[in-house]
Chain A
């Protein structure tokens, strides 16, 4: 009799904990804006298109940082909620991580954009940095439905990295534009492929980067 009672109590508490966890994850998800495919983000004139809603330390540790690994959770970083894309079996989140004082070639500060794949219950399947934005970096991204049944989501990225100043007076810089194609497979794994790399020349205006020339 006692054994049945213990099993019942254990089952009840387990169920309660699972429900609470799912509820907690749902609360976390609710901060992200759900978007439909196709969806584009242009980060050439701005560093972020997301609202400035910071993610709490609790959520950072629970859903973003890896367990038992170093976590950039000091005051030097600010994580903000971005967008979510609902797939058949998974939920994809784009989160921004602003490192206030990370040095780059042309200024302080860098925003990294994290692509994270979760189960509906909140279990993280995979996570990578897909974009960078700073005084040295700019990027464009398009989210589309996967091209075949093995690929649930296709993410096409153009990542610009400037590394040479040609004309300081007119702010003409040169660099590389890397093309990437990310896919999320049916297991929730993120696969990355660099499709091509081109040279670019840009004009760097106030809050605007214009590609003047792109060549092989």
Chain B
């Protein structure tokens, strides 16, 4: 019988791979959940099953949260899909999903945004109970239902202007309800029809955005930000929203509102000076043509003084949003 000596082991190490102590623990377990001594997948599964998982590092996965609550809605549909606590906290499970583990944007630091690319469109918010997300961000996959009016890889933060990001159209161009010569003044009705396509109804409330300057839009009112927040909130929940616009001197309705359009998406970019540019895509029932009514050039821009202005490109009409009509 041959005696095993240290010299034998050293010689053996030259021919055979030697695994580190940390690697050994991944096979036998015994980690404490730190980055230097992670749990094994089997330990994680066992801890979850027993309800004692408090978060920690899992070998090969990175840090896994204690619990994640996900609430979201599928845009472009009247159905909301919500998932409650998934109990497993496995958002870090697939490094290729949601920006991957270790990605600051995934962890919600600093803005709580998550992003991905794909063809679906989700708007909602994600809550991270362990404090990794401070802003109630939301995820929104890239792509756009109408050919890319919004920036890809969209994510929504809260309503603060510094945290805004793009939202792909929440209404498909196929839901466009255009002008009818038999009801030439029915723009609000057409807008309501578009909302109804996704199960949304306009309320009777009205948030006034601008002052009346002789029948034309004047300065932004103090409540204008509430109107902007209402638009953002609706879009983040995957809902289109109706707004009234001014483009001429008028003497009917409230003496200011000339027409109604539907805001369906949001784009956020930067100008050459690095200032944030927030733009909203809208559908316009001024025309029966879906091409013109849903054109990607139908854009309203948020000005620094809190107004939403834009041009209906087909006719070069200059729109100013005068009121926001919240959804029910």
Q: Distance in Å from the Cβ of B259 to the closest Cβ of chain A?
A: 8
Out of A103, A168, A206, name the residue touching B292 (CB < 8 Å).
Answer: A206
B295: A residues at CB distance < 8 A: 206-207
Query: Are B292 and A207 within 8 A (Cβ)?
Result: yes
A47-B315, A207-B314 known; A103+B181 contact, CB < 8 A = yes
For residue A38, CB closer than 8 A to chain B, the reply is no
Which size bracket describes the interface of B in this complex? Answer: 20 to 34
| The residue from B184, B250, B251 contacting A108, defined by CB atoms under 8 A apart | B184
- Nearest residue in A to B251 (C-beta to C-beta)? A75
CA of A107 to CA of B292 in the docked complex: distance in angstroms? 10
* A75-B248, A75-B249 known; A107 vs B313 contact (CB < 8 Å): no
C-alpha gap A108/B185 in the complex (Å): 9
Nearest-neighbour CB distance to chain B for A28, whole angstroms, equals 23
Is B316 within 8 A of A104, CB to CB?
Answer: no
Within 8 Å of chain B (Cβ to Cβ): is A25?
no
Quick one: which of B178, B184, B297, B316 contacts A47, CB cutoff 8 A?
Answer: B316
Question: Which residues on the B side are within 8 Å of A108 (C-beta)?
Answer: 179, 184, 187, 286-287
**A107 and B286 in contact, given A52-B316, A207-B313 (Cβ under 8 angstroms):** yes
Beyond A100-B317, A104-B181, A204-B291, is A109–B249 a contact (Cβ under 8 Å)? no
Q: Which of A77-97 contact B (CB under 8 A)?
A: 78
Q: In whole angstroms, how far apart are the Cα atoms of A109 and B247 in the complex?
A: 12
Contact yes or no, B292 A135, CB < 8 A:
yes
Shortest CB-to-CB span from A76 to chain B, Å, is 6
B215's closest neighbor in chain A, by CB?
A75
The CA of A137 and the CA of B251, in the complex, are separated in Å by 28
B85 is an interface residue with CB less than 8 A from chain A: no
Q: What is the CB-to-nearest-CB distance from B183 to chain A, in angstroms, rounded to a whole number?
A: 10
Contact in complex: B291, A75 (CB < 8 Å): no
- CB-CB under 8 A from B218, the residues of chain A are none
Determine whether B23 belongs to the interface, using a CB cutoff of 8 Å to chain A.
Answer: no
B288 contact set on A, CB distance < 8 A: 106-107, 135, 165
* A171 located at the interface, meaning its Cβ lies under 8 Å from any Cβ of chain B in the complex: yes
Complex alpha-carbon distance, A52 and B311, angstroms: 13
Name A106's contact: one of B179, B251, B315 (CB within 8 Å): B179
Report chain A residues within 8 Å CB of B313.
207
Residue B290 CB within 8 A of the other chain: yes
Q: State the CA gap A18–B9 with chains docked (Å).
A: 118
B258 smallest CB distance to A (angstroms):
8
- CB-CB < 8 A to B130: which residues of A? none
Given contacts A75-B248, A75-B249, contact A103 B184 (CB under 8 A): yes
A107 x B289 contact (CB < 8 A): yes
A171 touches B286 (CB 8 A): no
Alpha-carbon distance A47/B249, docked complex (angstroms): 21
In the complex, the answer to whether B179 meets A206 with C-beta atoms within 8 Å is: no
Contacting A at CB under 8 A, from B290-328, are 290-292, 295, 297, 313-317
- Shortest distance in angstroms between A36's beta carbon and chain B's nearest beta carbon? 26
Which of A98, A165, A206 has the largest count of B CB atoms less than 10 A from its CB? A206
Within 8 A of A (CB), among B158-201: 178-179, 181, 184, 187
Complex Cα distance, B251 from A75, in Å, reads 9
Residues of B within 8 A of A98 (CB): 315
Q: Please report which residues of chain B, range 241-292, place their CB below 8 angstroms from some CB of chain A when the two chains form the complex.
A: 247-251, 258, 286-292
Least CB distance, A110 to chain B, in whole angstroms: 10
Q: Determine the residue in chain A with the shortest Cβ distance to B174.
A: A169
Give CA–CA (A204, B184) in the complex, Å: 20
Asked if residues A171 and B317 are in contact (CB atoms below 8 Å), the reply is: no
Q: Could you tell me the distance between the alpha carbons of A76 and B316 in the complex, rounded to whole angstroms?
A: 15
Shortest Cβ-Cβ A-B pairs, 5 listed: A75-B249, A107-B287, A103-B184, A206-B291, A106-B288
Q: Which A residues are within 8 Å of any B CB, using their own CB?
A: 46-48, 52, 74-76, 78, 98, 100-101, 103-109, 135, 165, 168, 171, 204-207
